[in-house]
Structure 1
Amino acid sequence: MTKQKIKVVISDLDGTLLNAHHKISEYTKTVFQELHNQNYLVIVATGRHHLDAMPLVESLGVPLYLVTSNGARIHSPTKELLFSVNMESDHVKSILSLDIDPEITTVLFRENVWQTNKHNEKLNSFQTELNYHPELVDFSTVEDLSAIKVFFTHEKHSKLLELRAQILEHHSDLFSHAFSLPICLEFMDKSVDKSVAIAKILEKENLIFEEAISFGDGFNDENMLKATGKGLVMGNAPDSLKNKLSHLEVILTNDNDGVAKHLHQEFLASSLLK
């Protein structure tokens, strides 16, 4: 891969473009605006819901493709919905009918709200502005459980590992899954993955993975990082991901503007960007 070959910049949001305060720095915005000026295609791929992610990426100030819910939705630079897929109600019900530890927070991503079995302040803190509203529900009373994705969160990673094993024991052929964070276990329709959604965008733009550079920090970024011409792992990524992708370069952390500094150094060093 050469610098001249790269035409596409792909980045995750949380733990990657966003700092610990869930904000995009002014420096990062400046770098991405210069990338746009130099005709790079920008794709942001996140586990967040599109209603939650859109205001965040708008602050970059550049047109971009937005992949959300780990690939279950694709929006164009003009916010047109290009692709969507949901989990079937019966499939979600088969998960929720399992004996899930009541300490675990369960969340269903619906089209306009996220439904949860309990209030979770840590989850609420991920939205600096409440664009995607929570709704407290008893899932046993909900008839239609079709969802964009279902995810579980708990401070103990070990509890989520046990839950993953429990779900996959019964339903390994129905879902794709990933840890977006060690404390967040997510399940989607089996066809859903960030890399699959990105492939659809690249095909639409007559581009290929070898012409893309990608950045991520979670296991939901793994296939994306492996597929692109160059994949970069964030310094704040869990050691388990760094070890699994040991052939990939590790860059600075999200709080140190790792994505922007790498892009500036590798692709914009000769520009007037300060």
Structure 2
Amino acid sequence: MARLAAFDMDGTLLMPDHHLGEKTLSTLARLRERDITLTFATGRHALEMQHILGALSLDAYLITGNGTRVHSLEGELLHRDDLPADVAELVLYQQWDTRASMHIFNDDGWFTGKEIPALLQAFVYS
């Protein structure tokens, strides 16, 4: 019998409005009733995930920042694998010839080098 269920968030569990649907909430509750540990994986910041999942009273874990950090749903940091400061500075201050946007996470939130309204709206809590 499985003891852990892991889920991707964006494009999988989250509705287009970035919330969990009623069927999803019901399914998650049934899994918890069976003592299955829930884990949610995302590229989002932990602050964003705590807002989305925080009111659910679930015993769950968050894999955030594209795998760089693991938190309990209550916000306790369980694991981190951050870039060394010298590497982060090199990346941040390098001039890049690209239309891609750069996103940076730290303990306090999520930052981007380009103001893209759709992203800013989707990640409003971090």
| TM-score, reference length from structure 2 | 0.85
* Counterpart mapping for 1:67-216 below 5 A: 67-101=63-97, 103-127=99-123, 130-132=124-126
Please, which moves more after superposition, 5-14 or 94-103?
Answer: 94-103
Post-superposition Cα deviations, 1:134-155, rounded to whole Å, max 9, x if no partner, equal xxxxxxxxxxxxxxxxxxxxxx
2:19 to 12, 19, 23: 23
Compared with structure 1, are the counterparts of its residues 72 and 27 closer, same or farther at alpha carbon in structure 2 (3 Å cutoff)? same
What is the Cα deviation at residue 97 of structure 1?
A: 4.4
Query: What does residue 10 of structure 1 align with?
Result: 6
| TM-score, reference length from structure 1 | 0.42
Compared with structure 1, are the counterparts of its residues 52 and 84 closer, same or farther at alpha carbon in structure 2 (3 Å cutoff)? same
2:48 to 46, 52, 55: 52
What is the Cα deviation at residue 78 of structure 1?
A: 4.1
- Structure 1's unaligned 5+ residue stretches are 133-274
Q: How many Å separate the matches in 2 of 1:118 and 1:70? A: 20
In the alignment, is the contact (CA less than 8 A) between 1:74 and 1:81 conserved in 2? Answer: yes
- Structure 2's unaligned 5+ residue stretches are none
- The structure with the larger Rg is 1
What amino acid is the match of 2:45? H
Q: How many Å separate the matches in 1 of 2:118 and 2:95? A: 24
In the alignment, is the contact (CA less than 8 A) between 2:72 and 2:78 conserved in 1? Answer: yes
Query: What does residue 58 of structure 2 align with?
Result: 62
Task: Number of aligned residue pairs: give it.
Answer: 126
Post-superposition Cα deviations, 1:124-172, rounded to whole Å, max 9, x if no partner, equal 1213xx321xxxxxxxxxxxxxxxxxxxxxxxxxxxxxxxxxxxxxxxx
Question: 3-state DSSP class of the match of 1:82?
Answer: strand
CA-atom RMSD in angstroms:
1.9
What is the Cα deviation at residue 85 of structure 1?
A: 2.6
In the alignment, is the contact (CA less than 8 A) between 1:49 and 1:68 conserved in 2? Answer: yes
Compared with structure 1, are the counterparts of its residues 121 and 77 closer, same or farther at alpha carbon in structure 2 (3 Å cutoff)? closer
What is the Cα deviation at residue 41 of structure 1?
A: 1.1
What is the Cα deviation at residue 102 of structure 1?
A: 5.8
Compared with structure 1, are the counterparts of its residues 74 and 98 closer, same or farther at alpha carbon in structure 2 (3 Å cutoff)? same
Question: 3-state DSSP class of the match of 1:104?
Answer: coil
Q: How many Å separate the matches in 2 of 1:74 and 1:51? A: 12
Question: 3-state DSSP class of the match of 1:11?
Answer: strand
